[in-house]
Amino acid sequence: MGQAMRVLVGCEYSGRVRQAFRDIGHDAWSCDLLPSEDDSEFHIQGDVIRLLDKDWDLAIFHPPCTHLAVSGARWFKEKQVEQAQALDFVRMLMTAPVPRIAIENPVSVISSRIRKPDQVIQPWQFGHGETKATCLWLIGLPKLEPTNIVDGREARVHKMPPGPDRWKERSRTYLGIAEAMAAQWGQAPNN
Ligand SMILES: C[S@@+](CC[C@H](N)C(=O)[O-])C[C@H]1O[C@@H](n2cnc3c(N)ncnc32)[C@H](O)[C@@H]1O
C-alpha cells in the first residue's frame, strides 16, 4: 500500500493535474496567480514561490513559457529582461527543497540556458491525437511512460481562433498526461 503524498502543482489554473492526484487519494494542491477554473477548495491563489518550503513530497510546475518558448524567438531581442526573469523563476522552481520535481514547458530556451530536458513527450502518446512537443525536466522522478499511443497527429491548438483566452485554451494540461503523471509518479495510496 502506497502512502498519500503531499503534492504541489504550481502554475496551474485548470486543476487537471491536482485533480488527477486527488482522484487517487493524494493530498494535492494547485497554485496559480489566477483563480482555479474548477473553483476547488484545493487551489491556492497566489505566488507559488511562497509555498516552496511547505514540506511537499512532489511538486509539478508549469511555468509560463511566453518569454522562453522557441516559437517566440523573433521577440527574444526586445525581451531580454523578461526572459532573464523567466529563467530565474524556473531555476527557483528547479532548486526547490522538494525531493521529487517535474518542470513542464514547450521547446524552450531552458534547454540551452539551464539544461536539456530529461524527456520530450507528445499528447498522442497519452490518448490525444495531437502533436505538441512537451519537455519535462525531472528530479527524483522516472520518465513518463506512454499510456495510450493513438493515431492522428493534428496540431489542433495552432488552429484555434485568436482572442484574449487563446493562451488559456492552448496551455491547459492534457487530461491523459495529467492522469499518467498521477498514476506513475504518485503510487496510489489505496492500491
Ligand atoms: C502556461 S500556464 C500553465 C497552465 C497549466 N498547464 C494548466 O493546465 O492550468 C502558466 C501559469 O503560470 C501562472 N503563474 C505565473 N507566475 C506565477 C507565480 N509566481 N505563481 C503562481 N503561478 C504563476 C500563470 O498565471 C499561468 O496560469
**CB of 7 closer than 8 Å to CB of 28:** yes
Provide the CA 130 distance to its chain's centre, in angstroms.
17
Quickly list DSSP for 168-181. Answer: HHHHSPPHHHHHHH
**Closest residue CA from atom 12 of ligand 1:** 11
Determine whether the shortest distance from the Cβ of 64 to ligand 1 is under 6 A.
yes
What share of the chain has pLDDT > 90, as a percent? 80
pLDDT in tens, 71-120: 888 888 888 999 999 999 999 999 999 999 999 999 999 999 999 999 99
Ligand 1 pocket, residue 19 CB under 6 Å: no
pLDDT confidence of residue 165:
76
67 lines ligand 1 (CB under 6 A): no
Cβ of residue 13 lying under 6 Å from some atom of ligand 1: yes
Q: Check: CB of residue 184 under 8 Å from CB of residue 20.
A: no
User: Whole-prediction pTM value?
Assistant: 0.94
Mutate which of 33, 39, 132 for ligand 1? The one with the most ligand atoms within 8 Å of its CB, which is: 33
Q: Which atom of ligand 1 is nearest to the CA of 47?
A: 20
173 Cα: distance to centroid of ligand 1 (angstroms): 11
Q: How confident is the model at residue 60 (pLDDT cuts 50, 70, 90)?
A: very high
Give the model's pLDDT for residue 104: 98
Going by C-beta distance under 8 Å and a sequence separation of 6 or more, which residues neighbour residue 158? none
Q: How far apart are CA 129 and CA 20, in angstroms?
A: 20
Strand, coil or helix: 160: coil
Read off the pLDDT of each residue in 35-62 and give the average, rounded to a whole number: 97
Dihedral sign computed on CA atoms, order 73, 108, 145, 60: negative
- pLDDT single digits (tens) 133-176: 999 999 999 999 999 999 877 776 556 667 777 778 788 999 99
Q: Sorting pLDDT into bands at 50, 70 and 90, what band is 129?
A: very high
Q: Would you say the CB of residue 18 lies under 6 angstroms from ligand 1?
A: no
Q: How far apart are the first and last CA of the chain?
A: 5
CA of 108 to the centre of ligand 1 (A): 16
Check if 20 has its Cβ closer than 6 Å to any atom of ligand 1: no
